[in-house]
Amino acid sequence: MNTYSQNVQPLDPCRVAIIEQFGGKIVPLEPLGAQVQGIDLATRVMPPGELIEALEHEMAHRGFIVFKNEKQLEVDDFLRASCWWGGRQLHSTHGVHPATPGGNRHIFRLSNDERHGIPGVGPQWHNDGSFVPDTFSHAGYHIIRPAENGGGTCFVHQGAAHDALPKETREFWNRLSSVNSASGVVHPVVHVHPISGRRSIWLHLGMTGAVIEKSATDGGFRLLDAAELKQLCNQYKDILDAGLDNGYAISFEYEERDCVFVDNLAVAHRASPDAHLPAEQQGLRILHRSTVRAARNFGPDNGLPLQLDIYGPSPLGEGVWQGGGVGFRWDETVPMQN
């Protein structure tokens, strides 16, 4: 394993100084992420561009930032702060739970009690919005009620995970593109992060209907077969899971009034197993999620189109080509819900 795999870039002193200039304080979480205090997310005035850029760049390098709030945010304040990042506007594609305040279509309300929110979401590693061409640049998690007995989110740095791969695996994955099982949208399995410039891996373990390899010799394309795709998904899960022991992933537990913003191209996430335990056992958990429009499409640069007809016949002959639902079931024993 490459020793560079454990490197998540430390906070940049210049950006730390800018944040402090505007009354904030940022400290690193270990091994990734950062915690911010002193920045008012409830402000109705867009913060200075210099401050936003510093925070957004730290998010790109560290993966996510946690704002510690002295009082609970209103829904509108949370959604307004979500628009500080990426494409600067909400991009909401989810269903609306009946308990969502005001029926706000931009709030994806999650809970371990179906009376209070949608249960069971995101048990496998994924990035949000893999079914749209531009994905989401960022996602926000507003903690309405943390469970008394834990149940947070695991985050993993996908640049560090890329570097942890053996050289030959990195070279193979650089030739791969995934096809979303719900929409046929095509995304690279390895990409260069638009802010950090770091090569990063990216694959949705609960919504992939096919993976295409571009030949290293003749430039042609082929589908991975079932054995190859199963191996890929298991290797992807294994390298992300390994981050919890090797210093590039964290099992993050929320505290009351936390507001977390995630760079959706820098880190993958999954719900911790405890997050889906029943409220009677774990305590009631309620979380509001927002999703932010990207500034550009997140498509392949290898000659493949941005979208293919996943519900039609395979355009590349033999191999896995599976539309609908959770796509290819790489492990029949694990829960897969988006």
d(C-alpha 187, C-alpha 34), whole Å: 28
> How would you write the pLDDT of the chain (338 residues) with one tens digit per residue?
333 335 899 999 999 999 999 999 999 999 999 999 999 999 999 999 999 999 999 999 999 999 998 788 999 999 999 999 999 999 999 999 999 999 999 999 999 999 999 998 888 999 999 999 999 999 999 999 998 888 899 999 999 999 999 999 999 999 999 999 999 999 999 999 999 999 999 999 999 999 999 999 999 999 999 999 999 999 999 999 999 999 999 999 999 999 999 999 999 999 888 888 889 998 999 999 999 999 999 999 999 999 999 999 999 999 999 999 889 999 988 877 65
In angstroms, rounded to a whole number, what is the distance separating the alpha carbons of residues 217 and 203? Answer: 24
Dihedral of alpha carbons 203, 244, 120, 69, sign:
negative
Q: How far is CA 233 from CA 17, 65, 173, 203, in A?
A: 41, 28, 11, 8
- Taken in order of first residue, the domains within the chain and their CATH numbers are 7-119+134-152+253-293 (3.60.130.10)
Bridge-based pairing state of the strands 186-188 and 64-67: unpaired
- The answer to whether 270 and 153 are in contact (CB under 8 A) is yes
Do the Cβ atoms of 66 and 254 come closer than 8 Å? no
- Full-model pTM: 0.95
The strand order across the sheet containing 186-188 reads: 186-188, 176-180, 208-214, 221-223
